[in-house]
């Protein structure tokens, strides 16, 4: 069962529920090489909104530290298949959809909001503004993306990805967003294996600036965490985000070459709390 803890979590769950039929159809028709959550029922909770009872997909989570070359190839194929999915599946589900210009405008607006807080180092604001303004980085076609990829949302069986869960942040957007969790953890050889397998799965010539945008999304997640804290008036989140932004800024200043790639880690709490029972099937 997935039980939303607050309004934002409820919206995420509803987005996942609306997308489920299209994803399940794509899996069953062989267009996605992994399983997804299959809702069985919904129930109203006393705090408001709905909880979702679902069939647990087959597989188990692993740490990326355990990832093998074969596993990295599997991840690349899976992300390639997801990003090749017909965007109409996501559009019909009513999840957000952006083109490249829309993505840049959204980032620009958020950057302005971060600047207004006066809590982020100016050097970071300038760094992100330069990336957003670089036309070469944004010569992309937006695709269906998961939007919240991490170790907890990927299930494995026999060394291969068997299922992907938690599509509550799914949207049509920048494929780079789905690589942040990998780029923050994997060594360069395994990351290269993932991106090579991904390019083959998509049948494209590759994305020369994929990892540049991964770095932007990875760093900018800290800015979004700060904005989240200000919007819900949480001193704890605000202070945590400020400290992480200062640490990132100091790291860049002390060793810009080391931080030139997507190697900055953060963990933002999930919007939903999955509650599972061994009796569910």
pLDDT digits (tens, 9 = 90+) for 204-221: 767 889 999 999 999 999
Q: Distances in Å between the alpha carbon of 22 and those of 27, 37, 236, 262?
A: 9, 12, 38, 32
pLDDT of residue 266: 47
Tracing tokens 């083959």 back to the chain, one arrives at 200
Give the span between the Cα atoms of 146 and 32, in whole angstroms.
13
Give the span between the Cα atoms of 30 and 276, in whole angstroms.
27
pLDDT digits (tens, 9 = 90+) for 90-106: 999 999 999 999 999 99
Q: How confident is the model at residue 138 (pLDDT cuts 50, 70, 90)?
A: very high
Closest by alpha carbon to 167, among 54, 47, 49, 75?
Answer: 54
pTM for the structure as a whole: 0.85
Residue 28 pLDDT more than 90?
yes
Residue 38 backbone phi and psi in degrees, to 5: -115, 100
Closest by alpha carbon to 260, among 188, 199, 189?
Answer: 188
Q: How confident is the model at residue 255 (pLDDT cuts 50, 70, 90)?
A: confident
């Amino acid at each position: 069962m997935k039980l939303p803890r607050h309004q934002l979590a409820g919206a995420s769950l509803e987005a996942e529920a609306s997308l489920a039929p299209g994803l399940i159809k794509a899996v069953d028709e062989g267009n996605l090489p992994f399983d997804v959550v299959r809702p069985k029922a919904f129930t109203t909770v006393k705090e408001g909104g709905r909880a979702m009872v679902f069939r647990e997909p087959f597989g188990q989570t692993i740490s990326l530290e355990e990832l093998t070359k074969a596993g990295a190839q599997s991840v690349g194929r899976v992300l390639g298949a997801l990003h090749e999915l017909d965007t109409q599946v996501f559009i019909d589900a009513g999840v957000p959809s952006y083109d490249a210009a829309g993505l840049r405008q959204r980032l620009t607006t958020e950057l302005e909001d971060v600047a207004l807080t006066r809590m982020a180092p100016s050097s970071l604001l300038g760094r992100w503004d330069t990336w957003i303004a670089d036309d070469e980085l944004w010569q992309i076609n937006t695709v269906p993306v998961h939007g919240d990829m991490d170790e907890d949302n990927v299930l494995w069986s026999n060394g291969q990805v068997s299922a992907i869960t938690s599509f509550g942040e799914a949207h049509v957007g920048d494929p780079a967003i789905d690589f942040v969790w990998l780029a923050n953890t994997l060594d360069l050889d395994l990351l290269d294996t993932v991106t090579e397998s991904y390019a083959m799965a998509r049948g494209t010539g590759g994305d020369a600036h994929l990892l540049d945008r991964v770095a932007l999304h990875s760093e900018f997640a800290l800015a979004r965490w700060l904005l989240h804290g200000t919007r819900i008036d949480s001193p704890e989140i605000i202070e945590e985000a400020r400290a992480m932004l200062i640490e990132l800024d100091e790291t860049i200043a002390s060793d810009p070459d080391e931080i030139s790639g997507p190697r900055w880690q953060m963990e933002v709490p999930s919007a939903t709390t999955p509650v599972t029972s061994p009796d569910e099937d």
